[in-house]
Amino acid sequence: MKINIMLGVSSAAAQIEGGGFVHTWSGWYEKGRIHDGSNPARANDHLNRWKEDIDLMAQMGITIYRLSVEWARLEPAKGRFDKEAVMWYRRLLEYMKSKGISPLLTLHHFTNPLWFEESGGFAEPANIPVFLDFVEFAVRQFGDLVNEYVTINEPNVFAVMGYHTGVFPPGKKSVIAAMKVQSVMACCHIQAYSLIHRLRKEMGYADTKAGFAHHARVFVPKNGRNIRHRICACVSSWMFQDALTSACLLGKFAFPLKNYSKAPRGQYADFLGLNYYTRSTVTSLADGVREGCARNDLGWEIYPEGIETSARGLYRLLERPVYITENGTCDNNDSFRCRYIYDHLKILENSVLPVERYYHWCFTDNFEWCEGESARFGLVHVDFDTQKRTIKKSGDFYRAIIKNKNVTEEMYNEYVNAQKYNVQ
């Protein structure tokens, strides 16, 4: 199988850096809301081991890396920016580029500074300019090193998990609040997109690209002949992802979303960022997993065909290059990750869509939000007690794909053939 897509890796600052910065997820840990009790202050100690990690990426042949900056670290108090934090990120970006690794920089990836959260966070439309002030600061500080940006990671997951199910901070349980947060974040993305382009143009650069990373999945009725199941699948898809997609990509706000910033309709993405993991099989307005399907170690269905279906849904709205900004699986024993990677890349390579990049989630095992250190998604194993990094078999497979730009029969037999999914 020939591989024409650029292959890279993804991460998020709060999940790897460590260092004890005060943000919503450090607060969530203090409230005892991390399942295994692990502390994001430890994470991967990337704060101190960043050169080791970048060297390991280079060793594996990785040339594109999606990373994020930690807002609470850069702006620990409103309007007060930390010069030391700026220099740390600049050193990281400069070292990456010296190793031939190009950054795709995410400006918001799930964590808020506590001062922002206490002011209402993204549930308050008046805070849109506050987020934009941070975006302007980040672009002015890193705009000479970064030309590609993700404004916000998974605004729908942030809203639903934090304001509807209450699993993420701030732990609220209101559909109305979740839809309001989606609306505010869509406004933030649209204005940030325009701001990034304006600032980079003022700085003399013409090669700017910006978009958002959208978590999309396939929603299907458990029984296709059951009208209730079909309606619930359509409503779930609209409320979770489709309304937001239209708002963020085109500025078209439809119920239940509201255009608080009165942004005009337009085109607000230079690439289609897709985070894809699973399919939902529904019987009601709630998530569900099909019986007898392949599942990962968190119980999510493994459904490779959905990555193309989800990408096609975005492309119908706006014809732009597709970046798979996240795709990966929780496989704690690395027993089926090679097959997972192969199956998803095969679907993408056979697609007629302009899929240009694939960022595997994630490079190393990390602090996986509510699961803490117990859920392993990495190509590289991390012993969190010693912080020792060890490339997994799946990491060796990924390195071989990058090197050969191909999956040969020999590679398939060595890495994929014997691996089987867990079926439940």
Report the distance separating Cα 64 and Cα 6, nearest Å: 8
Beta bridge partners of 132: none
Write the CATH number for 400.
Answer: 3.20.20.80
Report the distance separating Cα 311 and Cα 152, nearest Å: 18
Residue 402 included in any domain: yes
CA R_g for the chain = 20
Range of the domain at 72: 6-423
Quick: pLDDT tens for 237-280. 999 999 999 999 999 999 999 999 999 999 999 999 999 999 99
Quick: pLDDT tens for 26-64. 999 999 999 999 999 999 999 999 999 999 999 999 999
pLDDT at 285 over 90: no
Report the distance separating Cα 338 and Cα 285, nearest Å: 33
| Total domains present in the chain | 1
Residue 234 included in any domain: yes
Report the distance separating Cα 180 and Cα 249, nearest Å: 18
Residue 285 included in any domain: yes
Residue 1 included in any domain: no
Residue 243 included in any domain: yes
Quick: pLDDT tens for 130-156. 999 999 999 999 999 999 999 999 999
Report the distance separating Cα 323 and Cα 99, nearest Å: 22
Which residue type does 42 have? R
- Predicted local distance difference test score (pLDDT) of residue 424: 82
Its pTM surpasses 0.85: yes
Residue 102 included in any domain: yes
Closest CA to 183 of 134, 127, 123: 123
Could you tell me the sign of the dihedral formed by the alpha carbons of 77, 83, 86, 91, in that order? negative
Residue 180 included in any domain: yes
